[in-house]
Homo-oligomer: A and B are copies of this chain.
Amino acid sequence: MQIDIKLKQNSYKVFINELEKLNFDTKVVLLSNARILNLHLKTLKNKIKCKELFIISIEEGEEYKNLQTVEKILNQMFAHHIDRKSILISFGGGVISDIGGFVASIYQRGISFINIPTTLLACVDASVGGKTGVNNQFGKNLIGSFYQPKAVYCQSEFLKTLNDKELSSAMAEVIKMALSFDIRFFKFIQNIDKKLFLSRDDELLSNIIQKSVEIKAKIVSKDEKENHLRMILNYGHTFAHVIENQTFYKKYLHAEAVSIGIHMANILAYHLNLLQKTQIQEINQTLQKFDLPIFYKIPNINAFYQNFFLDKKTKQEKINFILLKKIGKAIIKDDIDKNTILKSLESFT
């Protein structure tokens, strides 16, 4: 299965379960971490033919997604005489693809890179869209670039070794996309048989990936640099970022925070008479089917509100809230008054 990501420049394809053999007449840098290499290097190596395979393994975890790691990777690449014709392959989850894309974008002013995601979350989210970057002490993904891969290969075989939580939590981003853009896809998700899902059924996983990538492809094609439409992909994220910040990125997986954020956004939408309680319940049932949390106890509503302004997607004094008008249709609102927001947050105390 192939999905075209059409852009003004540098269009590319996402291949789902089509990775048979990759041939390069150049050196290839494989960026990954020890755990993934232990699990999947052998499988991947059988699929890659190149002049020389240079493996760089970085520490696992969001806390290593920073400029220091970037510099270490760059130094290893220079020491190994990686040239401008070489290819970088990001082989891992979102952290690997975010760092790998960024490194590729600045190594000798840009070399080609390919994403081979090994998590469901990276398949449906991080590996498509060209956002690359790292964190610093001021926040997440604050340093980076828009840089497109040459290709993305999603292979359900690599998803078999994910634990249930890693697999299920990714559904928060999938549900986010369905809720924002496609009611039929949401109905499809509602009808997913959980046992089949947890059995890592190839066909089901590739359907989920396909539909999510198709939605994201459409958005990114229309708004590569996140001027407007693409902001809708932040549905749930405005809240999630605050939750992650307040819990020091330790208590929740990103997708779990997004799940709670979706519910928070929905409660706000309810206070603005956009959504009805029954719709919110329907959404929550779907989130909870995949064992996703929907509640976070806010310690201090005012502090939570102030934290919105730390978010980089927030320009100046305006906060963009992405809210559902109905299931399958999200809108952007930047004029909600503070009291309404505070009132809606009260449900989480």
Contacts and interface: CB of A to CB of B under 8 A. Distances in A.
Which secondary structure dominates where chain A touches chain B?
mixed
A225 B79 CA distance: 24
Nearest to A67: B71
Interface residues of A, number: 35
A24 interface: no
Q: How many copies does the complex hold?
A: 2
A79 B136 CA distance: 11
Interface stretch (A38-46, A107-115, A340-348): A107-115
Interface string A101-126: 01001111110000000000000000
A78 interface: yes
A281 interface: no
Interface string A31-65: 00000000000000000000000000000000000
A233 to B, nearest CB: 14
Interface stretch (A141-149, A284-292, A293-301): A141-149
Contacts of A78: 136, 138-139, 142
Contact of A145 (B106, B225, B312): B106
A131 interface: yes
B74 A143 contact: yes
A109 B315 contact: no
A252 to B, nearest CB: 24
B106 A143 contact: yes
A240 B280 CA distance: 67
Contact of A83 (B71, B108, B133, B316): B316
Nearest to A83: B315
Interface string A80-109: 000111000000000000000010011111
Interface in A128-166: 131-133, 136-139, 141-146
A9 interface: yes
A105 B144 CA distance: 8
Contacts of A74: 136, 142-143
Given A109-B133, A109-B145, 10 more contacts: A9-B9, A67-B67, A75-B137, A75-B138, A83-B316, A85-B316, A109-B132, A109-B146, A109-B225, A145-B145
Interface of A: 8-9, 67, 71, 74-75, 78-79, 83-85, 102, 105-110, 131-133, 136-139, 141-146, 225, 312, 315-316
